[in-house]
Structure 1
Amino acid sequence: MALKEVVVPGVRDVRASLDEPEDGSETIVIACPPHPQFNGNRNDNRLVALSDYLGERGAACLRFDYGDWDEGYGEREDARNALRWARERYDSVGIFGFSFGGAIATLAGVDEDAAAIALLAPASRLAEDLDAVAALDEVDVPLKVLYGTRDDVAEWKPLVERARELGFETEEFSADHFFVGQEQKVAGRLGEFLVESL
Protein backbone atom coordinates (compact mmCIF):
# COMPACT_ATOMS: atom_id res chain seq x y z
CA MET A 1 0.00 0.00 0.00
CA ALA A 2 1.17 3.48 -0.84
CA LEU A 3 0.23 6.35 1.46
CA LYS A 4 -0.10 9.82 -0.03
CA GLU A 5 -1.11 13.07 1.60
CA VAL A 6 -3.91 14.87 -0.24
CA VAL A 7 -5.42 18.33 0.11
CA VAL A 8 -9.09 18.04 -0.85
CA PRO A 9 -10.00 20.96 -3.15
CA GLY A 10 -12.55 23.40 -1.76
CA VAL A 11 -12.96 26.55 0.30
CA ARG A 12 -12.25 24.72 3.58
CA ASP A 13 -8.87 23.33 4.65
CA VAL A 14 -9.37 19.58 4.35
CA ARG A 15 -6.38 17.24 4.60
CA ALA A 16 -6.55 13.56 3.76
CA SER A 17 -4.57 10.35 3.59
CA LEU A 18 -4.90 8.32 0.40
CA ASP A 19 -4.23 4.62 0.91
CA GLU A 20 -3.80 3.02 -2.49
CA PRO A 21 -2.58 -0.40 -3.64
CA GLU A 22 0.89 -0.31 -5.22
CA ASP A 23 -0.61 -1.25 -8.62
CA GLY A 24 -3.23 1.49 -8.38
CA SER A 25 -6.99 0.99 -8.32
CA GLU A 26 -10.12 1.81 -10.26
CA THR A 27 -12.26 1.90 -7.11
CA ILE A 28 -12.10 4.03 -3.98
CA VAL A 29 -14.02 4.51 -0.76
CA ILE A 30 -14.22 7.90 0.96
CA ALA A 31 -14.05 7.38 4.75
CA CYS A 32 -15.83 9.95 6.95
CA PRO A 33 -14.56 10.14 10.53
CA PRO A 34 -16.61 10.52 13.71
CA HIS A 35 -17.40 13.82 15.42
CA PRO A 36 -14.44 16.21 15.14
CA GLN A 37 -15.25 17.87 18.46
CA PHE A 38 -14.69 14.51 20.16
CA ASN A 39 -11.32 13.83 18.51
CA GLY A 40 -12.81 12.24 15.41
CA ASN A 41 -10.20 12.19 12.67
CA ARG A 42 -8.84 10.22 9.72
CA ASN A 43 -6.70 8.02 12.00
CA ASP A 44 -9.71 6.57 13.80
CA ASN A 45 -9.15 2.82 14.33
CA ARG A 46 -12.33 1.88 12.48
CA LEU A 47 -11.40 3.96 9.42
CA VAL A 48 -7.86 2.57 9.33
CA ALA A 49 -9.10 -1.02 9.68
CA LEU A 50 -11.51 -0.55 6.78
CA SER A 51 -8.79 1.05 4.66
CA ASP A 52 -6.46 -1.87 5.33
CA TYR A 53 -9.16 -4.37 4.38
CA LEU A 54 -9.91 -2.53 1.13
CA GLY A 55 -6.25 -2.18 0.21
CA GLU A 56 -5.69 -5.92 0.56
CA ARG A 57 -8.48 -6.39 -1.99
CA GLY A 58 -7.29 -3.85 -4.54
CA ALA A 59 -9.39 -0.82 -3.58
CA ALA A 60 -8.15 2.60 -2.50
CA CYS A 61 -9.41 4.57 0.49
CA LEU A 62 -9.34 8.31 1.19
CA ARG A 63 -9.50 9.06 4.92
CA PHE A 64 -9.93 12.78 5.58
CA ASP A 65 -10.10 15.28 8.42
CA TYR A 66 -12.94 17.76 8.44
CA GLY A 67 -12.18 21.45 8.18
CA ASP A 68 -13.06 23.84 11.02
CA TRP A 69 -16.21 22.87 12.94
CA ASP A 70 -19.37 24.07 11.16
CA GLU A 71 -22.33 22.30 12.84
CA GLY A 72 -22.34 19.53 10.22
CA TYR A 73 -22.85 21.81 7.21
CA GLY A 74 -19.21 22.40 6.38
CA GLU A 75 -18.44 18.78 7.23
CA ARG A 76 -21.03 17.61 4.70
CA GLU A 77 -19.39 19.87 2.13
CA ASP A 78 -15.99 18.38 2.99
CA ALA A 79 -17.33 14.92 2.19
CA ARG A 80 -18.98 16.17 -1.01
CA ASN A 81 -15.68 17.69 -2.12
CA ALA A 82 -13.85 14.45 -1.34
CA LEU A 83 -16.37 12.54 -3.48
CA ARG A 84 -15.94 15.03 -6.33
CA TRP A 85 -12.16 14.73 -6.09
CA ALA A 86 -12.41 10.93 -6.20
CA ARG A 87 -14.84 10.84 -9.14
CA GLU A 88 -12.31 12.68 -11.29
CA ARG A 89 -9.73 9.94 -10.63
CA TYR A 90 -11.56 6.63 -10.14
CA ASP A 91 -14.19 4.65 -12.04
CA SER A 92 -16.23 3.68 -9.00
CA VAL A 93 -16.57 5.68 -5.76
CA GLY A 94 -18.21 4.54 -2.54
CA ILE A 95 -18.52 6.21 0.85
CA PHE A 96 -18.25 5.01 4.44
CA GLY A 97 -18.94 6.80 7.70
CA PHE A 98 -18.73 6.03 11.39
CA SER A 99 -21.00 7.71 14.00
CA PHE A 100 -21.29 11.44 13.11
CA GLY A 101 -19.53 10.44 9.89
CA GLY A 102 -22.34 7.98 9.14
CA ALA A 103 -24.84 10.83 8.85
CA ILE A 104 -22.32 12.84 6.81
CA ALA A 105 -21.70 9.85 4.49
CA THR A 106 -25.44 9.36 3.94
CA LEU A 107 -26.10 13.01 3.14
CA ALA A 108 -23.02 13.49 0.93
CA GLY A 109 -23.45 10.10 -0.72
CA VAL A 110 -26.96 11.05 -1.85
CA ASP A 111 -25.90 14.53 -3.00
CA GLU A 112 -22.91 13.29 -5.01
CA ASP A 113 -24.22 9.94 -6.30
CA ALA A 114 -21.87 7.59 -4.47
CA ALA A 115 -21.97 4.07 -5.96
CA ALA A 116 -22.39 2.43 -2.53
CA ILE A 117 -22.86 3.61 1.06
CA ALA A 118 -21.64 1.77 4.19
CA LEU A 119 -22.50 3.04 7.67
CA LEU A 120 -21.17 2.07 11.09
CA ALA A 121 -23.15 3.13 14.19
CA PRO A 122 -24.50 6.13 12.26
CA ALA A 123 -26.11 9.21 13.76
CA SER A 124 -29.63 9.63 12.42
CA ARG A 125 -29.82 13.41 12.40
CA LEU A 126 -27.36 16.29 12.87
CA ALA A 127 -29.84 19.14 12.48
CA GLU A 128 -33.40 19.55 11.24
CA ASP A 129 -32.15 19.97 7.68
CA LEU A 130 -29.26 17.49 8.06
CA ASP A 131 -31.51 14.46 8.40
CA ALA A 132 -29.86 11.21 7.35
CA VAL A 133 -33.10 9.25 7.93
CA ALA A 134 -34.95 11.39 5.39
CA ALA A 135 -32.00 11.15 2.98
CA LEU A 136 -32.39 7.35 2.90
CA ASP A 137 -35.52 7.82 0.78
CA GLU A 138 -33.27 9.19 -1.99
CA VAL A 139 -30.73 6.34 -1.90
CA ASP A 140 -30.88 4.17 -5.02
CA VAL A 141 -27.54 2.37 -4.62
CA PRO A 142 -26.47 -0.50 -2.34
CA LEU A 143 -26.43 0.57 1.31
CA LYS A 144 -25.52 -1.34 4.47
CA VAL A 145 -25.81 -0.30 8.10
CA LEU A 146 -23.90 -2.08 10.86
CA TYR A 147 -24.69 -1.14 14.46
CA GLY A 148 -23.99 -2.21 18.02
CA THR A 149 -26.91 -3.40 20.13
CA ARG A 150 -25.40 -1.79 23.25
CA ASP A 151 -24.70 1.55 21.57
CA ASP A 152 -25.97 4.35 23.80
CA VAL A 153 -23.89 7.12 22.20
CA ALA A 154 -25.34 7.60 18.71
CA GLU A 155 -29.04 7.92 17.98
CA TRP A 156 -28.91 5.08 15.43
CA LYS A 157 -32.33 3.46 15.84
CA PRO A 158 -34.40 5.77 13.55
CA LEU A 159 -31.91 5.32 10.70
CA VAL A 160 -31.70 1.54 11.14
CA GLU A 161 -35.49 1.22 11.26
CA ARG A 162 -35.94 3.29 8.10
CA ALA A 163 -33.18 1.39 6.32
CA ARG A 164 -34.99 -1.88 7.11
CA GLU A 165 -38.31 -0.46 5.89
CA LEU A 166 -36.64 0.45 2.59
CA GLY A 167 -35.08 -3.00 2.20
CA PHE A 168 -31.45 -2.03 2.79
CA GLU A 169 -29.07 -4.44 4.46
CA THR A 170 -28.65 -4.07 8.23
CA GLU A 171 -26.47 -6.08 10.59
CA GLU A 172 -26.20 -5.96 14.36
CA PHE A 173 -23.20 -6.72 16.53
CA SER A 174 -23.18 -7.36 20.25
CA ALA A 175 -21.10 -4.23 20.87
CA ASP A 176 -21.16 -0.71 22.22
CA HIS A 177 -20.64 2.36 20.07
CA PHE A 178 -16.90 1.91 19.66
CA PHE A 179 -16.66 -1.80 18.73
CA VAL A 180 -13.55 -2.14 20.90
CA GLY A 181 -11.60 -5.24 19.89
CA GLN A 182 -13.95 -5.83 16.95
CA GLU A 183 -12.54 -3.28 14.52
CA GLN A 184 -11.14 -5.92 12.15
CA LYS A 185 -14.35 -7.93 12.13
CA VAL A 186 -16.47 -4.85 11.51
CA ALA A 187 -14.10 -3.70 8.75
CA GLY A 188 -14.39 -7.12 7.15
CA ARG A 189 -18.19 -7.07 7.08
CA LEU A 190 -18.48 -3.56 5.68
CA GLY A 191 -15.41 -3.89 3.48
CA GLU A 192 -16.77 -7.05 1.89
CA PHE A 193 -20.04 -5.24 1.18
CA LEU A 194 -18.21 -2.30 -0.41
CA VAL A 195 -15.90 -4.46 -2.53
CA GLU A 196 -18.87 -6.45 -3.86
CA SER A 197 -20.96 -3.33 -4.47
CA LEU A 198 -18.25 -1.33 -6.24
Structure 2
Amino acid sequence: MTDVAVPGARDVRATLDGEEAESIVVACPPHPRQRGHRGDPRLTAVGGALSDEGVACLRFDYGEWDEGYGEREDARNAIRWTAERYDRVGVFGYSFGAAVALLAAASVEEPLGGVSVLAPAASLGDGDLDAAGAVAELDAPLQVLYGARDTTVDWRPVVEAAREAGARVEELPADHFFLGKHDRIAASVAEFFAERF
Protein backbone atom coordinates (compact mmCIF):
# COMPACT_ATOMS: atom_id res chain seq x y z
CA MET A 1 0.00 0.00 0.00
CA THR A 2 1.44 3.33 -1.14
CA ASP A 3 0.12 6.87 -0.79
CA VAL A 4 0.32 8.94 -3.97
CA ALA A 5 -0.72 12.39 -5.19
CA VAL A 6 -2.66 12.30 -8.47
CA PRO A 7 -1.39 15.02 -10.84
CA GLY A 8 -3.88 17.72 -11.83
CA ALA A 9 -5.17 21.14 -10.90
CA ARG A 10 -6.92 19.82 -7.77
CA ASP A 11 -5.43 18.28 -4.61
CA VAL A 12 -6.20 14.58 -5.05
CA ARG A 13 -4.62 12.00 -2.74
CA ALA A 14 -4.81 8.27 -3.27
CA THR A 15 -3.85 4.88 -1.91
CA LEU A 16 -2.29 2.42 -4.33
CA ASP A 17 -2.79 -1.28 -3.57
CA GLY A 18 -0.69 -3.83 -5.49
CA GLU A 19 1.77 -1.51 -7.17
CA GLU A 20 3.66 -4.28 -9.01
CA ALA A 21 0.70 -5.44 -11.12
CA GLU A 22 0.32 -4.92 -14.89
CA SER A 23 -3.37 -4.00 -14.64
CA ILE A 24 -5.14 -1.53 -12.35
CA VAL A 25 -8.62 -0.39 -11.38
CA VAL A 26 -9.30 3.23 -10.39
CA ALA A 27 -11.84 3.22 -7.52
CA CYS A 28 -14.14 6.25 -7.10
CA PRO A 29 -15.52 6.74 -3.56
CA PRO A 30 -19.05 7.71 -2.53
CA HIS A 31 -20.25 11.25 -1.82
CA PRO A 32 -17.53 13.24 -0.04
CA ARG A 33 -20.13 15.30 1.82
CA GLN A 34 -21.63 12.10 3.24
CA ARG A 35 -18.30 10.87 4.64
CA GLY A 36 -17.32 9.15 1.40
CA HIS A 37 -13.57 8.56 1.08
CA ARG A 38 -10.97 6.15 -0.28
CA GLY A 39 -11.20 4.04 2.90
CA ASP A 40 -14.88 3.22 2.28
CA PRO A 41 -15.36 -0.47 3.21
CA ARG A 42 -16.84 -1.34 -0.19
CA LEU A 43 -13.81 0.16 -1.95
CA THR A 44 -11.31 -1.52 0.36
CA ALA A 45 -13.07 -4.88 -0.10
CA VAL A 46 -12.88 -4.49 -3.88
CA GLY A 47 -9.23 -3.42 -3.65
CA GLY A 48 -8.39 -6.49 -1.59
CA ALA A 49 -10.17 -8.86 -3.97
CA LEU A 50 -8.45 -7.26 -6.97
CA SER A 51 -5.05 -7.69 -5.26
CA ASP A 52 -5.86 -11.38 -4.81
CA GLU A 53 -6.35 -11.56 -8.60
CA GLY A 54 -3.04 -9.76 -9.26
CA VAL A 55 -4.74 -6.47 -10.20
CA ALA A 56 -3.72 -3.19 -8.57
CA CYS A 57 -6.26 -0.68 -7.25
CA LEU A 58 -5.99 3.10 -6.92
CA ARG A 59 -8.49 4.35 -4.32
CA PHE A 60 -8.56 8.15 -4.28
CA ASP A 61 -10.15 11.04 -2.41
CA TYR A 62 -11.72 13.84 -4.42
CA GLY A 63 -10.38 17.38 -4.30
CA GLU A 64 -12.48 20.23 -2.95
CA TRP A 65 -16.25 19.72 -3.39
CA ASP A 66 -17.42 20.80 -6.86
CA GLU A 67 -20.95 19.40 -7.40
CA GLY A 68 -19.63 16.45 -9.42
CA TYR A 69 -17.78 18.48 -12.07
CA GLY A 70 -14.40 18.60 -10.37
CA GLU A 71 -14.88 15.07 -9.05
CA ARG A 72 -15.34 13.80 -12.63
CA GLU A 73 -12.08 15.53 -13.55
CA ASP A 74 -10.36 13.96 -10.52
CA ALA A 75 -11.38 10.53 -11.84
CA ARG A 76 -10.21 11.37 -15.36
CA ASN A 77 -6.85 12.51 -13.99
CA ALA A 78 -6.55 9.28 -12.00
CA ILE A 79 -7.29 7.29 -15.17
CA ARG A 80 -4.68 9.27 -17.12
CA TRP A 81 -2.07 8.80 -14.38
CA THR A 82 -2.63 5.05 -14.20
CA ALA A 83 -2.71 4.66 -18.01
CA GLU A 84 0.88 5.98 -18.11
CA ARG A 85 2.01 3.26 -15.69
CA TYR A 86 -0.10 0.16 -16.34
CA ASP A 87 -0.91 -1.94 -19.40
CA ARG A 88 -4.64 -2.16 -18.69
CA VAL A 89 -6.91 0.21 -16.75
CA GLY A 90 -10.44 -0.22 -15.43
CA VAL A 91 -12.75 1.95 -13.33
CA PHE A 92 -14.97 1.10 -10.35
CA GLY A 93 -17.26 3.38 -8.36
CA TYR A 94 -19.85 3.20 -5.60
CA SER A 95 -22.96 5.42 -5.32
CA PHE A 96 -21.93 9.02 -6.14
CA GLY A 97 -18.61 7.48 -7.17
CA ALA A 98 -20.41 5.11 -9.55
CA ALA A 99 -21.85 8.11 -11.39
CA VAL A 100 -18.41 9.74 -11.38
CA ALA A 101 -16.91 6.52 -12.78
CA LEU A 102 -19.44 6.36 -15.63
CA LEU A 103 -19.06 10.04 -16.49
CA ALA A 104 -15.25 9.88 -16.42
CA ALA A 105 -15.02 6.61 -18.36
CA ALA A 106 -17.34 7.92 -21.08
CA SER A 107 -15.32 11.12 -21.57
CA VAL A 108 -11.66 10.26 -21.01
CA GLU A 109 -9.38 9.69 -23.98
CA GLU A 110 -7.62 6.64 -22.49
CA PRO A 111 -8.77 3.14 -23.53
CA LEU A 112 -10.37 1.18 -20.69
CA GLY A 113 -10.57 -2.55 -20.11
CA GLY A 114 -13.82 -2.36 -18.17
CA VAL A 115 -16.12 -0.29 -15.98
CA SER A 116 -17.92 -1.64 -12.89
CA VAL A 117 -20.37 0.37 -10.80
CA LEU A 118 -22.21 -0.34 -7.56
CA ALA A 119 -25.48 1.45 -6.67
CA PRO A 120 -25.03 4.11 -9.36
CA ALA A 121 -26.69 7.51 -9.02
CA ALA A 122 -28.42 8.44 -12.29
CA SER A 123 -27.08 12.00 -12.41
CA LEU A 124 -24.93 14.57 -10.62
CA GLY A 125 -24.72 18.33 -10.46
CA ASP A 126 -28.05 19.94 -11.23
CA GLY A 127 -28.96 16.88 -13.24
CA ASP A 128 -26.88 17.91 -16.24
CA LEU A 129 -24.17 15.35 -15.46
CA ASP A 130 -26.14 12.41 -16.86
CA ALA A 131 -24.57 9.16 -15.66
CA ALA A 132 -27.34 7.04 -17.19
CA GLY A 133 -26.77 8.74 -20.54
CA ALA A 134 -23.04 8.09 -20.23
CA VAL A 135 -23.67 4.35 -20.47
CA ALA A 136 -24.31 4.64 -24.22
CA GLU A 137 -21.02 6.55 -24.62
CA LEU A 138 -18.85 3.87 -23.01
CA ASP A 139 -16.32 2.09 -25.17
CA ALA A 140 -15.62 -0.64 -22.61
CA PRO A 141 -17.42 -3.63 -21.07
CA LEU A 142 -19.75 -2.61 -18.23
CA GLN A 143 -20.90 -4.30 -15.03
CA VAL A 144 -23.66 -2.79 -12.88
CA LEU A 145 -24.50 -4.08 -9.39
CA TYR A 146 -27.43 -2.68 -7.42
CA GLY A 147 -29.47 -3.37 -4.30
CA ALA A 148 -33.10 -4.30 -4.82
CA ARG A 149 -34.06 -2.39 -1.66
CA ASP A 150 -31.90 0.67 -2.36
CA THR A 151 -33.97 3.83 -1.92
CA THR A 152 -30.99 6.17 -1.38
CA VAL A 153 -30.09 6.76 -5.04
CA ASP A 154 -32.06 6.53 -8.26
CA TRP A 155 -30.23 3.59 -9.82
CA ARG A 156 -33.03 2.51 -12.19
CA PRO A 157 -32.07 4.70 -15.20
CA VAL A 158 -28.51 3.35 -15.16
CA VAL A 159 -29.69 -0.26 -14.80
CA GLU A 160 -32.14 0.19 -17.68
CA ALA A 161 -29.47 1.76 -19.90
CA ALA A 162 -27.02 -1.00 -18.97
CA ARG A 163 -29.52 -3.73 -19.87
CA GLU A 164 -30.24 -2.03 -23.20
CA ALA A 165 -26.49 -1.92 -23.87
CA GLY A 166 -26.10 -5.63 -23.09
CA ALA A 167 -24.00 -5.01 -19.98
CA ARG A 168 -23.65 -7.42 -17.09
CA VAL A 169 -26.28 -6.46 -14.49
CA GLU A 170 -26.47 -8.06 -11.04
CA GLU A 171 -29.21 -7.47 -8.46
CA LEU A 172 -28.38 -8.02 -4.80
CA PRO A 173 -30.88 -8.48 -1.93
CA ALA A 174 -29.68 -5.36 -0.13
CA ASP A 175 -30.25 -1.68 0.55
CA HIS A 176 -27.78 1.05 -0.42
CA PHE A 177 -25.16 0.07 2.14
CA PHE A 178 -24.88 -3.64 1.26
CA LEU A 179 -24.22 -4.73 4.85
CA GLY A 180 -22.92 -8.28 4.92
CA LYS A 181 -22.47 -8.24 1.13
CA HIS A 182 -19.07 -6.56 0.78
CA ASP A 183 -17.18 -9.81 0.14
CA ARG A 184 -19.73 -10.95 -2.44
CA ILE A 185 -19.55 -7.59 -4.23
CA ALA A 186 -15.76 -7.60 -4.15
CA ALA A 187 -15.59 -11.12 -5.57
CA SER A 188 -17.98 -10.24 -8.39
CA VAL A 189 -16.11 -7.06 -9.29
CA ALA A 190 -12.71 -8.79 -9.15
CA GLU A 191 -13.98 -11.62 -11.34
CA PHE A 192 -15.33 -9.11 -13.88
CA PHE A 193 -11.98 -7.35 -14.19
CA ALA A 194 -9.92 -10.55 -14.08
CA GLU A 195 -11.85 -11.83 -17.10
CA ARG A 196 -11.05 -8.64 -19.02
CA PHE A 197 -7.44 -8.26 -17.96
TM-score > 0.5, shorter chain as reference: yes
In the comparison of the two structures, how many residue pairs are matched?
194
Q: Does 1:4 align with 2:2?
A: yes
Q: Is residue 18–residue 55 contact of structure 2 (8 Å, CA) maintained in 1?
A: yes
Q: Deviations over 1:62-107 (max 9, x none)?
A: 0000001000000000000000000000000000000000000001
Q: Given residue 142 of structure 1, which amino acid in structure 2 is its aligned partner?
A: P
* 2:171 counterpart of 1:172: yes
**Residue in structure 1 matched with residue 55 of structure 2 by the alignment:** 59
Report the Cα offset of residue 114 of structure 1. Answer: 2.3
Where 2:17 maps in the other structure, the secondary structure is: strand
Matches within 5 A, 1:67-86: 67-86=63-82
Deviations 1:23-46 (A, max 9, x none): x11100000000000000000000
The whole-number CA distance in structure 1 between the counterparts of 2:62 and 2:76 is 11
Kindly, what percent of the aligned residue pairs are identical?
Answer: 55
State the 1:117 CA deviation: 0.2
Aligned AA for 1:76? R
TM-score, normalised to structure 1, is 0.96
Range that drifts further, 127-136 or 74-83: 127-136
Alignment correspondent of 2:94: 98
Q: Which residue of 2 aligns with 1:153?
A: 152
When normalised by structure 2's length, the TM-score is 0.96
Residue 39 of structure 2: aligned partner: 43
Residue 116, structure 1, aligned to residue 114, structure 2:
yes
RMSD: 0.9
Runs (4+) off by over 3 Å: none
In 1, the alpha carbon distance for the partners of 2:106 and 2:196 equals 16
Q: Which structure 2 residue ranges, 5 or more long, are not aligned?
A: none
The letter for the 2-side match of 1:37 is R
Aligned residue in 2 for 1:140: 139
Q: Matched residue of 2:154: which SS?
A: coil
